[in-house]
Amino acid sequence: MSTHAQSSRQLGLYARLRGGDSWSIGDRLGVAAAWGAGLLLCLIAAAIVLYMLVRGIQYLRLDEIFSHPVAGTDQSKNGGFLDPLEGTLLLTVIGTAIAAPVGVGIAVWLTEYGRPAGLARAVESCIEIVAGTPSIVLAIFGLLVFQQGFFSFLSYEATPGVAFGRSFFTAGVVMSLIALPLIVGASREALHSIPRHVREASYALGKDRISTIRRVLLPASRRGIGTGVALGMGRIVGDTAIVVILLGASLQNDPEGSIPGLSLLQGTGSTLTTYVYNNSPVGEGGSPEKAYAAAFVLLLIVIGLNFAVDLITRGRGPSWTR
């Protein structure tokens, strides 16, 4: 047996739980709870990935990724999910293209200017409200807005003076709202972590605020911004409510009009999430094999995004002493 001093240094998990040393009952319970929660989380994550992996390998065929979905309940004949996959990617691109510049812009304004102070505080609260609003509420609100005739260029005019309101454009705009708080938050944190004297060093060289932001602060915040964008993309990829309400969740992408490209954006479509929903046993499609295959692809995309976040945040960013 080791001496008392040694055992307190090399205390194993079992010893801590057993209370072989001077640990109080509260500490022992805390350690047990922390370990329990951690292990449970790992188990759940592993179960999801393993289950989806098995199902995915079982049902996923490469041609499903490259073929259009076809109406029908016969799982051998109702095609693949090329359209939902395109829809997911397209919506993510649109949402990110709007949310990233706006979010970084808001973060820069809040941290570097913050004036007028009242407006800055209001914006902070608004971002929190948007972050806390369920996406289905945002979607319903988006539909209300985009059905105004004024916005018919984003979808198409259903009846004179009334826009249809559902399109890749309108869904993308609302998707940007759910990504925005994450991008603003991560960018603000990154900007905050740059010590004041780094900004002052740039001012002391005769630079103004805007070139300091462009040349020093934004490059120094690259990692934080990248993390926020990747997290935002993850939310867009995973959202279902907005797709159902604002994209139509149609079986195939359904371009509106005749201008190539634009017509796709003005038209309706679906994403992997709604495809999974529709083909799941509760949906109308009733093709669970397709649902599992698509869910597996969706999971791969999300894991890929997480991996990207890890890559971005790995290693050291610029570090200064405060």
Partner 1 sequence: MDSLSDARGMDASRSLLAGAGQLAPPVRRIAPQAQPTVVEAPASGNGHTTTLGGLAPKLQRLPRADTTPLERMRTDRLSIAYGEKSAVNEVTLSVRQGEVLALIGPSGCGKTTLLRSLNRLVDLTPTAKRGGRILLDGEDVDSFDVTHLRRRVGMLFQQPNPFPMSIFDNVAYGLRERGSKKPSRRALEPAVTEALHRAGLFEEVKDNLEHPALALSGGQQQRLCIARSLAVEPEVLLLDEPCSALDPISTTTIEETIVGLRSEVAIVIVTHNLQQAQRVADHVAFMYLGDLIEYGEVEQVFNAPVAERTREYVSGTFG
Contact residues toward partner 1 (CB under 8 A) are 195, 197-198, 200-208, 211, 215-216, 219-220, 317-322
- The CB-of-220 to partner 1 minimum distance in angstroms stands at 5
- The CB-of-217 to partner 1 minimum distance in angstroms stands at 9
Distance (Å, whole) CA 143 – CA 250: 16
- The CB-of-305 to partner 1 minimum distance in angstroms stands at 25
Question: Are 276 and 64 a contacting pair, CB within 8 Å?
Answer: no
CB nearer to partner 1: give 4 or 192. 192
Question: Which residues does residue 69 pair with via DSSP β-bridges, in sequence order?
Answer: 79
CB nearer to partner 1: give 110 or 138. 110
- The CB-of-319 to partner 1 minimum distance in angstroms stands at 7
Please provide residue 269's backbone torsions phi and psi, each rounded to the nearest 5 degrees.
180, -160
CB nearer to partner 1: give 93 or 198. 198
CB nearer to partner 1: give 145 or 201. 201
**Which residues make Cβ contacts (< 8 Å) with residue 96, sequence separation at least 6?**
176, 179, 229, 232, 233, 236
Structural tokens at position 321: 């002493």
- Give the count of beta carbons closer than 10 Å to the beta carbon of residue 113: 12
Question: Are 238 and 272 a contacting pair, CB within 8 Å?
Answer: no
CB nearer to partner 1: give 190 or 276. 190
CB nearer to partner 1: give 19 or 195. 195
Distance (Å, whole) CA 139 – CA 81: 24
- The CB-of-103 to partner 1 minimum distance in angstroms stands at 21
Distance (Å, whole) CA 28 – CA 308: 37
Say which amino acid occupies 171.
Answer: A
**Complete DSSP assignment for 43-82:** HHHHHHHHHHHHHHHHH--HHHHHS-B-S-S-TTTSB--H
Question: Can you point out the beta strands (E) in 170-271?
Answer: none
- The CB-of-239 to partner 1 minimum distance in angstroms stands at 34
CA-wise closest residue to 185 among 94, 92, 103: 103
- The CB-of-101 to partner 1 minimum distance in angstroms stands at 21
CB nearer to partner 1: give 76 or 314. 314
